[in-house]
Structure 1
Amino acid sequence: MVTILRSVAFNICFYLNTLVFLIIALPTFFLPYQAIVEVAKAWGRVNLVLLRVIAGVDFELRGREKIPPGAVIVAAKHQSAWETFALLHLFDSPTFIMKRELQWIPIFGWLTIKGRMVAVDRRAGSQALVQMAERARVELARGRQLIIFPEGTRRPVGAEPRYKYGVSYLYAAEGVPCLPVALNSGVFWPRRSILRRPGTVVVEILDPIPPGLDKEDFIRRLQDEIETATARLVAEGGARRAG
């Protein structure tokens, strides 16, 4: 019951905090795009504080020193909504690969356009990959960090991985390193649940994969490294909760 009450209290504060930051962000429409990026990073930091203080969910980062400077494709495991805000502050100028439909949301969507997020029209079929790569190239040329969830959507803890073609297409097209990211957020912020279970979410930055690999070799290496590390972190998170 305590966990449920703390979870509900956090969820209320999360949405109120989001509303406040949407208002704070309005003046950035008249500023360079990096201004909204900094506001988004601050929003993410405040959410992490609220999550720790109200719901008892802490955060640990491992491997920060492995983040290369400049342009990079960040391929992160996606288990919950947690990583959509918690990863922002780890990078200098992050931009997300996101569904185009999200940009239709009033204010929020407009701000993602201002922040130069890379939208994907999933109804465009194979042409969507071409359009995504063209937009990604523009942002990577600015030295930004392109965050993509290789499975395309949240996957429950322990579910069979389903890596999609988009990440390997980007890797081959853009010629920049890919940074694999493993995490165990789903143990504490389960997919499609209001519960926020006390514990410590661990994010582990893995060794960058240099450009130039064959697509098949790349996706095989990416999936193996992320899934192996994620399984270890999930087991560690479960053991901590049980202890």
Structure 2
Amino acid sequence: MLFLRSLAFNIAFYLVTALMLIGGLPLLVSRRSVLWLAQTWGRVTLWLLRVLVGIRVEFRGLEHIPPGGVMVAAKHQSALETIALVTVLDDFTYILKRELLWLPLFGWYLARSEMVAIDRSKGSRALALMNEEAAAAMAKGHRLIIFPEGTRRPPGAPPAYKFGVAHLYARLGVPCLPVALNTGRLWARNSLHRRPGTAVIAFLPPIPPGLEREVFFDLIQERIEAGSNALLGGDAPDAAPSPTGAAGQMPG
């Protein structure tokens, strides 16, 4: 049954994605319309997960999201959080690898929505370029989303944070919003199986700007890891459930 439900979701997910990519081509006229399409795609995906697989996505701590520009630093366990976060963060900008811009159709939308693309072939210069592009996005009031570990990590794996997040924090001078989650238990990386249950994405209290880089780097790891480990163990981190924090249903 698990295999059949996962198969049904995967087929529906890729079909919906393809239809939106093709049908949404006229929306490439503006960044705002592309972001609206991305949020619609995210909400439809969460609905498919709930109906076909039995995965309910619960957001906690939405009251911790500050107004205006903010750096959102999230744990990265699966593709689920990359989809889910866009449904609750308006005017978002992801930091992603440049190779994604080369994907047919999908890359066009990423480029039009002004995502910050990292060219890893530039070595140490890539970090400076990323910081400048991110600062330009922040000047426009965007919500900058970054995965400090750079890649997906299995639930419970030892943390592997990159110090680049501390450089970015120092350059931007805005609050950093840590995000803990347990999504990898239900949507594992490199797996086609989707397991029923509740995926929790918890926004923790923001870290104010102005800390020393080393202090911030230790603090962001501590908060994200403690929050995520608590969720994996069944306990809630320091983020109370928001009365409007449940997702997984189509807006009505």
Q: TM-score category by the smaller chain? A: over 0.9
Q: Which deviates more from structure 2 when the two are superposed, residues 21-30 or residues 51-60?
A: 21-30
Match of 2:148 in 1: 150
* Amino acid across the alignment from 2:145: I
Q: Does 1:234 align with 2:229?
A: no
Match of 1:161 in 2: 159
Q: Deviations over 1:144-165 (max 9, x none)?
A: 1000000000000110000002
Query: Which secondary structure does the structure 1 equivalent of 2:193 belong to?
Result: coil
Residues 189-228 of structure 1 aligned to structure 2 (within 5 Å): 189-228=187-226
Q: Deviations over 1:55-84 (max 9, x none)?
A: 000011110000001100000000001111
Distance 1:142 1:111 in 2: 19
Give the aligned length: 235
Residues 117-136 of structure 1 aligned to structure 2 (within 5 Å): 117-136=115-134
* Amino acid across the alignment from 1:16: L
Distance 1:81 1:12 in 2: 16
Q: Does 1:81 align with 2:79?
A: yes
Residues 1-243 of structure 1 aligned to structure 2 (within 5 Å): 2-30=1-29, 32-236=30-234
Q: CA RMSD in A?
A: 0.9
Distance 1:24 1:95 in 2: 22
Per-residue deviation at 1:183? Answer: 0.3
Unaligned runs of 5+ in 2: 236-252
Higher helix share: 1
* Amino acid across the alignment from 1:211: P
* Amino acid across the alignment from 2:197: G
* Amino acid across the alignment from 2:223: E
Q: Equivalent pairs: percent with the same residue?
A: 54
Match of 2:238 in 1: none
Distance 1:198 1:27 in 2: 36
Distance 2:87 2:101 in 1: 21
Distance 1:236 1:127 in 2: 42
Q: Deviations over 1:30-73 (max 9, x none)?
A: 2x211101110110000000000000000111100000011000
Distance 2:55 2:204 in 1: 23
Distance 1:23 1:86 in 2: 21
Higher relative contact order (CA 8 A, sep 6+): 2
Per-residue deviation at 1:25? Answer: 2.2
Distance 1:148 1:24 in 2: 29
Per-residue deviation at 1:28? Answer: 1.8
Query: Which secondary structure does the structure 1 equivalent of 2:73 belong to?
Result: strand
| TM-score, with length taken from structure 1 | 0.95
Distance 1:126 1:106 in 2: 28
Q: Deviations over 1:119-147 (max 9, x none)?
A: 00112111101110111111111111000
Distance 1:21 1:139 in 2: 26
Per-residue deviation at 1:220? Answer: 0.3
Distance 1:101 1:20 in 2: 22
